[in-house]
Amino acid sequence: MSGYGTYDKFTLTESLKDANQTAIAVDAAPGDKAVFTARQPMTVVGFGLEITTTYADMSTAQVVSLDKRPTHNSDTGREELAAITLAVGYADGHVYRKKFTAVELDVGQQLVVEQKVQGAGGGSLAGGCIPFILWYPRAEVAANQSSLHDLT
């Protein structure tokens, strides 16, 4: 079949299987849940959550955010890029994403997934999600990346 143009192709490998991903439970304590370090210049354009357990019986909604850390392992200058509030009825297998104005990351800068608000509710409280980031490589001269060092 033709007519749709040429698309990039990606491989799903063992390391990307669902069982290797850690879901954030609705009632997880607030705090940082995942940190990703840019190993190449990149442009980040969105943040999303794959629902792994249907959300039910929340009186306080879970909120998960994506933050940018401009300095490796430091919260100085940390800024929130997007936040997603999870709602009762968000069903297992559904994907929610939030796009935002492109943000550039240099080598060594970080993205942090944070549980901002712990979900709470009654005895049948349920919900869980796996975060993901929408990004693409950014062309950049290696000399402009102060944290990138080529060895000879």
Q: How high is the pLDDT of residue 3? A: 56
pLDDT tier for residue 116 given thresholds of 50, 70 and 90? very high
Q: How high is the pLDDT of residue 17? A: 79
For residues 107 and 10, the model is more confident at: 107
How much is the average pLDDT of 78-83? 98
d(CA 112, CA 120): 23
pLDDT tier for residue 1 given thresholds of 50, 70 and 90? very low
Tell me the DSSP string of 32-78. EEEEEE-SS-EEEEEEEEEEEEEEEEEEE--EEEEEEESSTT--TT-
Q: Which two tokens stand for residue 25?
A: 């439970």
Q: Is the pLDDT of residue 5 over 70?
A: no
CA neighbor of 43 nearest in space, from 142, 152, 138, 144:
138
Question: pLDDT tens digit string along 27-66?
Answer: 999 999 999 999 999 999 999 999 999 999 999 999 999 9
